[in-house]
């Protein structure tokens, strides 16, 4: 059974007096446990698709069901709850809070949870260990390398044990060696059963993913292999 | 980690902004408060210094009946019956009052009115002055004006009477008296108060004297002092208070603006941070709560510091002696401080609404797009 179902999703952005069609009637299904790369030329709508999947960006038309829940019909608060429990987001720019330490950045999603402080710290340290930053809890992002920052962002994305990880060009700013390490990290998370969907331009990443969505001109082409 | 930790961290990270917020608000608050302290502290001294200026005190008499005579003659059958129940001789009592409790006038609900001028008590009320037929009975109010001749021909607002043109007033014998005017009052304008002028500084002082004089009946009297009476309208003191009130009102507006500006300044440039929080599952109200805690923390500490700072400043002003009429002892510091605290808090909350809703209403996707 598919975990995510997009039914005729359209997204229009206001563009001057008219509208710009960023996504045009996109329908795809994504099964639980998939590892998908979204590729396509710049401006084709990849990030738009990702934010729609991430319950951050309501589509102009169509429905998206995640775990059979029509997510955009939920109230704003329930959407936030949904994000918190289902989705981990990793951005190209990582968006770490610069004045919070690695540990505190990872604690952010837990700040509104009901876990007691001790439990929160335990969870955050666990995921930091998991991404290989067991010795850098108290470093500020400015004192971390690009790859380490990516790991913090990934740790923050997985601290709530989400079922889906969405990543927008997570290796875009990394050298190929570090990029490969990060991809391996995503792969191992995928092996644990997390559905991983990432936008990437990098051809090197093709060896890790199982499926490729090629976005072109607001339309999606689903390929079993990278094209 | 909770929201409070995050809020405090944000405050300390934005050191410069937070400090500017804190200092500006606390200094403004302490200036306002100092002005308040000074105006209250100078009040009584001013009163002492200007002999003309007298406070008006009001004694409420609860179900008190007055044994009233008019130059030895009982005034009105009905009233006499009622008035006879009064447990003490009011005329004697007021005659015996010390100089500082100079009685201006007395009046009783639905009965009559007694005025006191110097050592003579004049009853005015439910009876006719000379020249008016006895069956056309009037109620009269007596007012002692400081500058009766000077005010002649002008219109003055008198408590209980409203605007009254000062001319051709009759006293009880049908002639003008130096500084007392009598004016017929409407049946609906009932009095149940005793008013008197006093140069004593506080209701406590008056209470003390009355307790000595009227030990058995004090429970029947309710004493309230006031400086806001129309009688004081023209006094210098009133002008001064108005002047301070004016300054303070003027300063509330910049404070409101300051709160607002600082409220926006502490969320400025943090669009991306708020967007991150939204992405990881914060609800709009969680963001609102976060910003609220930050604003409340800086706001409350700065208001508090402003108040705390103004108190030693007031002592300093007193000890330097730059304001000769100013003494701390006359100030009700806790009262003024707590009222100011609450007022400032309300202003803070009101002016925080806009920045809070701005921060919580941000669209995370748009925030990421515009920042990068
Ligand atoms: N909030 C927005 N308002 C207006 N137009 C937008 C908005 N977001 C995206 N667009 C437009 O929609 C189109 C798709 O944008 P999107 O960010 O999804 O592209 P992308 O495939 O991720 O591109 P890139 O590879 O450069 O990141 C672009 O033309 C973009 O300018
Ligand atoms: Mg993009």
Is residue B111 over pLDDT 90?
no
pLDDT band for position B329 (cuts 50, 70, 90)? low
Is residue A162 over pLDDT 90?
yes
The sheet carrying A35-39 orders its strands as A87-90, A164-168, A195-199, A35-39, A211-216, A219-223
Which chain A residues are within 8 Å of B284, Cβ to Cβ? 76-77, 80
* Residue B324, pLDDT score: 60
Q: What is the percent of chain B with per-residue pLDDT over 70, rounded to a whole number?
A: 42
pLDDT band for position A54 (cuts 50, 70, 90)? very high
* Residue A17, pLDDT score: 83
Is residue B236 over pLDDT 90?
no
Pocket, ligand 1, Cβ cutoff 6 A:
A 13, 20, 22, 40, 42-48; B 366, 369
Q: How far apart are CA B113 and CA B181, in angstroms?
A: 13
List the single range of A162-171, B32-41, B64-73 with lowest mean pLDDT.
B64-73
Facing residue for B1 by CB, picked from A76, A99, A110: A110
Quote the minimal CA–CA distance from B276 to chain A in Å.
7
Average pLDDT on B330-356 reads 84
Of A206, A214, A167, A171, nearest to A189 (Cα)? Answer: A167
List the single range of A8-12, A72-76, B196-200 with lowest mean pLDDT.
B196-200
* Residue B266, pLDDT score: 86
Facing residue for B282 by CB, picked from A91, A112, A121: A112
CA A44 to ligand 1: nearest atom: 21
Higher pLDDT, B186 or B26: B26
Residue of A76, A78, A95 best to disrupt the B interface, most CBs of B under 10 A: A95
Residue nearest to atom 26 of ligand 1 (CA): A42
* C-beta pairs of B93-98 under 8 Å, 24+ apart in sequence: B93/B213, B93/B214, B94/B121, B95/B119, B95/B121, B96/B213, B97/B209, B97/B213, B98/B209
Q: Quick check: A80 and B2 CB within 8 A?
A: no
Q: Which residues surround ligand 2, an ion (CB under 5 A)?
A: A 47
Token digits of residue B234:
């023209």
Mind spelling out the 3-state secondary structure of A155-213? HHHHCCCCCEEEEECCCCCCCHHHHHHHHHHHHHHHHCCCEEEEECCCHHHHHCCCEEE
CA A41 to ligand 1: nearest atom: 25
**Range among A92-101, B39-48, B211-220 rated most confident:** A92-101
The nearest alpha carbon in chain B to A160 belongs to B280
How many angstroms separate the alpha carbon of residue B180 from the centre of ligand 2?
89
Residue nearest to atom 9 of ligand 1 (CA): A48
Is residue B128 over pLDDT 50?
no
Structural class in CATH, domain A2-223: alpha beta
Residue of B280, B361, B367 best to disrupt the A interface, most CBs of A under 10 A: B280
Which chain B residues are within 8 Å of A107, Cβ to Cβ? 1
Q: Return mean pLDDT, chain A.
A: 90
Ligand 1 pocket mutation pick from A9, A11, A16, A22 by most atoms within 8 angstroms of CB: A22
Of A197, A198, A157, A151, nearest to A174 (Cα)? Answer: A151
Residue nearest to atom 17 of ligand 1 (CA): A47
Is residue B245 over pLDDT 80?
no
Q: Return mean pLDDT, chain B.
A: 62
Instruction: Please indicate, yes or no, whether the overall pTM of this predicted structure exceeds 0.90.
Output: no
* Residue B347, pLDDT score: 87
Which chain A residues are within 8 Å of B2, Cβ to Cβ? 111, 117
Quote the minimal CA–CA distance from A113 to chain B in Å.
8
Higher pLDDT, A12 or B135: A12
* Residue A27, pLDDT score: 93
Put simply, the chain B residues between 324 and 353 with a CB less than 8 A from any chain A CB are none
Asked if B47 and A142 touch (Cβ cutoff 8 Å), the reply is no
Higher pLDDT, A33 or B193: A33
Quote the minimal CA–CA distance from A102 to chain B in Å.
13
Q: Which helix (H) or strand (E) covers residue B57, if one does?
A: strand B55-61
Tens digit of pLDDT for each residue in A17-32? Answer: 888 999 998 999 999 9
How many angstroms separate the alpha carbon of residue B124 from the centre of ligand 2?
92
Facing residue for B284 by CB, picked from A51, A76, A108: A76
pLDDT band for position B281 (cuts 50, 70, 90)? confident
Is residue A173 over pLDDT 90?
no
Higher pLDDT, B62 or B100: B100
Which chain B residues are within 8 Å of A122, Cβ to Cβ? none
* Residue B197, pLDDT score: 41
Of B10, B26, B74, B14, nearest to B259 (Cα)? Answer: B26
Q: Quick check: B280 and A51 CB within 8 A?
A: no
| Complex prediction ipTM | 0.90
pLDDT band for position B64 (cuts 50, 70, 90)? very low
Token digits of residue A94:
């990582």
Is residue B237 over pLDDT 90?
no
Half-sphere CA count of A172, side-chain side, radius 13 A:
15
The nearest alpha carbon in chain B to A118 belongs to B1
Q: Quick check: A95 and B275 CB within 8 A?
A: yes
How many angstroms separate the alpha carbon of residue A168 from the centre of ligand 1?
12
Residue nearest to atom 4 of ligand 1 (CA): A13
The nearest alpha carbon in chain B to A158 belongs to B280
Give Cβ neighbours of residue B238 (< 8 Å, ≥ 6 apart).
Answer: B227, B232
pLDDT band for position B323 (cuts 50, 70, 90)? low
CA A201 to ligand 1: nearest atom: 25
Phi-psi region of A146 (alpha: psi -120 to 50; beta: other; left: phi over 0): alpha
Interface residue B43 vs chain A (CB under 8 A):
no
**Range among A136-140, B181-185, B278-282 rated most confident:** A136-140
Interface residue B16 vs chain A (CB under 8 A):
no
What is the β-pairing status of strands B69-70 and A87-90? unpaired
Q: How many CB pairs under 8 A join A and B?
A: 71
pLDDT band for position B164 (cuts 50, 70, 90)? low
């Amino acid at each position: 059974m598919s975990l995510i179902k997009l039914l005729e999703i359209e997204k229009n952005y206001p563009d001057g007096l008219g509208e710009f069609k960023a996504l045009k009637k996109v329908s795809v299904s994504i099964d639980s446990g998939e590892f998908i790369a979204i590729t396509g030329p710049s401006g084709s709508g990849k990030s738009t698709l990702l934010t729609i999947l991430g319950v951050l960006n309501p589509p102009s038309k169509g429905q998206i069901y995640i775990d059979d829940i029509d997510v955009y019909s939920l109230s704003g608060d329930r959407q936030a709850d949904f994000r918190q429990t289902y989705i981990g987001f990793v951005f190209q720019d990582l968006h770490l809070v610069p004045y919070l330490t690695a540990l505190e950045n990872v604690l952010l999603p837990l700040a509104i949870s009901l876990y007691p402080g001790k439990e929160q710290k335990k969870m955050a340290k666990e995921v930091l260990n998991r991404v290989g930053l067991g010795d850098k809890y108290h470093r500020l992002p400015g004192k971390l390398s690009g790859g380490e920052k990516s790991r913090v962002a990934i740790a923050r994305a997985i601290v709530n044990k989400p079922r889906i990880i969405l990543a927008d060009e997570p290796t875009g700013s990394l050298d190929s060696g570090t990029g490969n390490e990060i991809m391996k990290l995503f792969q191992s998370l995928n092996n644990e059963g997390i559905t991983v969907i990432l936008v990437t331009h990098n051809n090197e990443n093709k060896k890790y993913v199982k499926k490729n969505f090629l976005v072109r001109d607001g339309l999606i082409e689903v390929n079993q292999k990278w094209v | 980690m909770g929201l409070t930790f995050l809020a405090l961290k944000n405050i300390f990270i934005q050191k410069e902004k937070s400090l500017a917020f804190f200092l500006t608000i606390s200094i403004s608050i302490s200036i306002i408060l100092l002005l308040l302290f000074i105006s209250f502290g100078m009040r009584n001294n001013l009163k002492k210094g200007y002999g003309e200026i007298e406070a008006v005190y009001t004694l409420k008499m609860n179900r008190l009946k007055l044994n009233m005579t008019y130059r030895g003659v009982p005034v009105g059958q009905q009233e006499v019956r009622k008035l006879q129940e009064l447990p003490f001789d009011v005329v004697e009592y007021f005659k015996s009052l010390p100089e500082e409790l100079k009685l201006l006038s007395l009046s009783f609900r639905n009965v009559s009115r007694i005025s006191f001028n110097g050592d003579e008590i004049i009853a005015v009320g439910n009876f006719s002055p000379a020249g008016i037929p006895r069956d056309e009975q009037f109620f009269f109010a007596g007012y002692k004006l400081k500058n009766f001749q000077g005010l002649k021909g002008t219109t003055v607002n008198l408590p209980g009477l409203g605007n009254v043109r000062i001319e051709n007033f009759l006293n009880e014998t049908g002639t003008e008296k130096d500084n007392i005017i009598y004016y017929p009052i409407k049946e609906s304008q009932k009095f149940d108060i005793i008013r008197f002028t006093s140069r004593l500084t506080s209701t406590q002082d008056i209470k003390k004297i009355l307790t000595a004089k009227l030990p058995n009946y004090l429970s029947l009297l309710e004493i309230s002092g006031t400086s806001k009476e129309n009688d004081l309208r023209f006094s210098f003191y009133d002008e001064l208070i108005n002047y301070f009130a004016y300054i303070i009102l003027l300063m509330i507006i910049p404070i409101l603006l300051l709160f607002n500006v600082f409220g926006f300044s502490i969320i400025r440039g943090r669009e991306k941070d708020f967007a991150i929080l939204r992405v990881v599952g914060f609800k709009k109200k969680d963001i609102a709560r976060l910003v609220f805690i930050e604003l409340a923390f800086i706001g409350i500490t700065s208001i508090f510091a402003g108040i705390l700072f103004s108190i030693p400043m007031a002592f300093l002003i007193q000890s330097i002696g730059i304001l000769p009429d100013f003494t701390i002892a006359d100030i009700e510091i806790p009262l003024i401080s707590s009222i100011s605290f609450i007022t400032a808090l309300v202003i803070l909350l009101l002016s925080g609404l806009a920045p809070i809703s701005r921060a919580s209403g941000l669209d995370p996707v748009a925030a990421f797009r515009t920042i990068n």
